Chain A
Amino acid sequence: MPKGYLCLVLHAHLPFVRHPEYDFYLEEQWLFEAISETYIPLIWMFKRLEREKVDFRLTMSMTPPLVSMLMDPHLQDKYLKRLDQLIELCHKEVERTRWQPEFQRLAIMYLNRFCDAKDTFLEYGKNIVQAFKEYQDKGYLEIITCSATHGFFPLMETTRPSVRAQVAVAVDFHSKVFGRAPRGIWLAECGYHPGHDEILREFGIRFFFVESHGILHGTPRPKYGVYAPVYTRSGVAVFGRDMESSKQVWSAVEGYPGDYWYRDFYRDIGYDLEFDYIKPYIQPNGLRMHTGIKYYRITGKTDHKEVYDPDRALQKAAEHAGNFMFNREKQVEYLASIMDRKPIIVAPYDAELFGHWWFEGPLWLEFLFKKIHYDQKTIKTITPSEYLNEYPRNQVVTPSFSSWGWKGYCEVWLNGSNDWIYKHLHKASERMTELVKVYGGSTDPRVQRALKQALRELLLAQSSDWAFIMHTGTHVEYAVKRTKEHLLNFNKLYEEIKQGNVDEDFLSSLEEKNNIFPEINPLVHV
C-alpha cells in the first residue's frame, strides 16, 4: 500500500490558429512543432509503458482549440507537408555532416524522429487525438477539458453568460470527441473566481485545479493545505498545485530543464546554416525560423555551446527522474506523518514544456513512471477521479480568487499592454446575450447560422492567449489582429442579425474559416 499519491497533470493547449487562405502561416508552426516535439513523443511514451506493462496514471487537459486543430484535415495535411520537408532536410543534413560524426549522429537521430513521427501520425489516420482517446479508454489517461477557447474566467466575471458558454461548449465538444463527459476541467491559467464553480457543477464537472494559494487562502482554512482536495459549496472538488514539485521542474534556478547536458532550444539550424541552403525550409519570405533540428547542448551560461550528446542527456534525464521521485517519497512520508489520510501531490505542467522546450522532458516522464512502478512503494500515480473515489468526504472551502500566472492573479492578462480589450469583449458578450434572448427562437435557418457563428467569433476573441501574447511582446501584431478580427466579425453579425439582413457570403466565409465547434449551440450563452 502506498503512503500517498502523485497526480501529474499536463495541460495541452494552443490557441486556434488556422489560415486556409495561405499555404504557409508562421503562427501555424506552433501546432506543427508541438505535434512533432510534444504530442507524438508522449504517444510513444504511452506505447512503450504499455508494452512494458508499467502501470501509470496521467491526467491531461486537452483544450478544445487544440483538439479542433488536431482533428482539422486542412491543418493535418499542412503538418504532413511540413514533416516531409523536414525529412528531406534531414536527409541533406546526414550527408552534409558526413565528416563530422558527432553531428551526423544527431542528424540521423532527427531523421529517425521525423520519420517515426510520420509513421505515428499516419498510423492514427492523421488524427492523433485518437491515440490519446485510446489510452484514456485503456485507463492510463484521464483526459479533462478546459474552457472552450481558453477564456480566462476571473476577467469575465461581469459577463457570466460567457463563462457559462465557455464551459457548456467545451463539455459538449469534449464529450463528442472523447466519447464520455469530462469529469474535470482545467480552468485556463488556473484562473478561479469564487462562484464560477456553480457553473461548472451545472455542466457535470466534478473537479478542477487551482494554484496553491487558491486553496491556502480559501475560507475557512483548509485542514490539509494543498495535499487533499476540498469541495466548494456547490460540491465541485478542487485540487491545489504543489509548489515544491513544480519548482523542481519549472525553476530557472533549480529546475531540471536548465541542466548543461540537455539540448539547447535556441541553436537551431534554421538560424545557424547558410542562407541558400536553408531557405526552402524557413519562412517563404526568407525570414529564418526554427526547424526543430538543434545540434547543441545548453553547455553553460555563455553563448559558447558544445555539441549535444544524447547518451549523456539520457543519463541526466534518468538521474533527474530519480531525484524527483526521491523528493516526492520524502514529501509523502513527511505528509503522511502529519496527516490522517493519504496525501495527494498535484504537479501540473504545460504539456508543451515536455519535448518542445525541454527536449528530454518526455523521456524524464517515462523514466519517472518506470521508477515509480519498479523502484519504490511509498508513492503511486493517481488521477483526481480515483482519489475522489477513495476519499469522497472532504472539507468544504471556498477557494480564493487566483491564477497560476506571474504574481498569482490577473496582472499578466490585465495591464497596460492589453487592458483595452475588455471593454470590447464585455460589450460583445452583452450583445450575445441580447441576441440569444431576442433571436434564440428564430426559425430562420440563416439567423440560426449567424447566431452560431457569432458565438464562435466571440469565444475565439475571448482566448486568453491574445492578451497573454500582447503582454509577452512577441507576435503582438498577430494577437491584436486576431482580437480585433473576431470582435469585428462578431459586431458585423450582431448588426446584421438585428437588421434582419444577414449577408450570406460573409457568413459562409466565416463558417469556412473560423470553423471551430461545428455543432455549437448558441442558446447556452445565457
Chain B
Amino acid sequence: MPRKSADSKGKTVSSAERRKRSVKRGRKPTTKATKTKASAKTKSKVKAVARKVKAVAKTIKRRLKKGVKPVSSQEVSIGAPAVQVLTSIDDVLLSPQERVEDAKYFVAQEEKAPAPLPEDLPSYYGDNKLVLMVRDPWWLFAYWELIPEEVSRRREDIPEEERSASQFVMRVYDISHIDFNGNNAHYYFDVVIPYGAERWYINVNAPGRSWVAEMGWLAPDGKFYPVVRSNVVATPLDGPSWITDEEWAVPEELFNKLYGLSVGFGGIGAGLSSAQIHGLWREQFVSPISSGAVSSWGGSAHMLKPSAGVEKKERGFWLVVNTELIVYGATEPDAEVTVQGQKIQLRPDGTFSLRFALPDGVQEIPVKAVSSDRVDEITITPVVSKETR
C-alpha cells in the first residue's frame, strides 16, 4: 500500500504549523531539488509553506497599495464574457471575492498538491504589445502589456491643454478586405480601459470581418495617439457562405436540406431560408448534446453544460443505512474450517474473520472446524435474523 504518500498528503494542522515555525526561524529552502527522494520531499514542503507565507504577504501588500489593484484572472472572470466594454471594473474588483479565491487556493494546495507550489509567473515581461484572439464570430479577446515609460512619453505628444482630460482607450478597427494604414478602416469604436486591466473581451458582433486594435490616448478634441497596435484577426462566418463555385454548384433548396441534416435536424432544412438555417445551427449548439461529465476528469469539451436530468442532483436531507455482519473466530492453525459449507483460509495464527452484507431475513451460518488429523470436529452455528423497520 502506498503509505508513503499518505504521510505526505495527509498533513495535519500541527505539522503544518511546525513547518511554518521552522520557516520563520529562517531555514531557507535550497533551490537544487534532487539528491535523495526523502530529503527533496521535506524541502519541497518547507518551500511550499515559505512561498505561501510570501504569497500572503504579497496579497496584503497589494491591498495596501492605494486602492487600485491589478486585475487577476479570477477577478476578471466574474463577468468577463458577459461584461461588455463599459461596465465599471471597480464592481468586479471587490476584495471579498479575492479573499474567497485565495482561501480556496490555499485549502486546495494543502489537501491535494504536495509537490512544491510553483512560484508565480512573471507579471510583466517588459513588452509593449497588444494581442487579439478570436473567441467566436461575435467576440474578440485582447491581452496586452505596456511599458509605462512609452505610455507616458506618448502622452507628452498631446498638446498640454488637452492632456489632463485625455483617456486611455482601445480602438478597434474593422479592416475587412483593406490594407490598413491607420486611417482607412471601415469603422472603429473605442473601449475605455480602466487602469490596471490587463485583458478584455470585445463584442464586435460582426461575423466574417477582419479586425485590428490599437491602444493609446484619446484627447478631448478627438485626436488619437496610439501607443501599440495589435495583430490582425478575422471573425468566422456564423452561417453558410454566399460564395458558391460553378463546378461544385448546389441549388439553394438542396443545400438547405443538407444543412438541416448535417446539423442534426433531419431533412427539415428544405424550404427554409438561409436566415432560418442559421437559426437551426445556433440552436443546435446552444441546446445540450451532452450527458454531463463523461468521466471523473470532466470529459470532452462538447459534453459540457449538461442539461437537467442526467446531472447528479443536489440532495436535500437524506439517510442511508446498511448492515454488514462480521463472523470471526479462531482454531488450531492447521485445522480445516468451512463456513456455510465453503472452505475458508485461516490466518497463520489460526484466526479468521469474514464479512457479509446482511440482507433482511434469517441467516444460518454453520462454522465447522476439523482437526488436521480428522479426528476432532466442532460445529458452531450462529443464527442471525435481520429486519428493517
Contacts and interface: CB of A to CB of B under 8 A. Distances in A.
A335 B269 CA distance: 14
A403 B247 CA distance: 28
B291 A257 contact: yes
B122 to A, nearest CB: 7
A180 interface: no
A103 B357 contact: yes
B190 interface: no
Nearest to A277: B355
Interface string A297-317: 000011100000000000000
A168 B6 CA distance: 41
A401 B236 contact: yes
Interface in A368-412: 395-396, 400-412
Interface string A126-137: 000000000000
A404 to B, nearest CB: 5
B130 to A, nearest CB: 11
Contacts of B231: 158
Interface string A22-60: 111111011001100000000000000000000000000
B258 interface: yes
Given A225-B262, A244-B266, A218 B310 contact: no
A476 B73 CA distance: 13
A419 B143 contact: yes
A402 B236 contact: yes
**Which of A22, A33, A34, A412 is the most central at the interface, judged by chain B CB atoms within 10 Å of its CB?**
A22
Given A23-B4, A266-B312, A395-B248, A350 B10 contact: no
B18 interface: no
A422 interface: yes
Task: Give chain B's interface residue range (CB within 8 Å of chain A).
Answer: 35 or more
Give chain B's interface secondary structure class: loop
Given A284-B2, A284-B10, A227 B258 contact: yes
A220 interface: yes
Interface string A213-235: 10111111111111100000000
A165 B113 CA distance: 30
B135 A414 contact: yes
Contact of B33 (A219, A357, A509): A509
Contacts of B133: 155, 157-158, 410, 414, 422
B356 A488 contact: no
A439 interface: no
B5 A408 contact: no
A74 interface: no
B263 interface: yes
A444 to B, nearest CB: 21
29 contacts: A19-B115, A21-B37, A22-B5, A33-B296, A95-B354, A97-B357, A98-B340, A99-B359, A155-B133, A217-B237, A220-B244, A221-B243, A221-B255, A252-B306, A252-B310, A253-B288, A258-B291, A258-B309, A274-B322, A284-B10, A287-B111, A352-B300, A410-B133, A416-B76, A416-B79, A472-B304, A474-B293, A505-B32, A508-B34
Closest 9 CB pairs of A and B: A416-B77, A225-B258, A243-B264, A23-B2, A284-B6, A420-B73, A409-B136, A416-B80, A401-B236
Interface of A: 11, 14, 19, 21-27, 29-30, 33-34, 92, 95-100, 103, 154-155, 157-158, 189, 194, 212-213, 215-227, 240, 242-244, 246-247, 250-253, 255, 257-258, 266, 274, 277, 280, 283-287, 289-290, 301-303, 331, 334-335, 338, 350, 352-353, 356-357, 395-396, 400-420, 422-424, 426-427, 468-469, 471-472, 474-478, 481, 484-485, 487-488, 491, 503, 505-506, 508-509
Given A23-B4, A410-B136, A420-B199, 4 more contacts: A242-B262, A255-B291, A419-B80, A505-B34
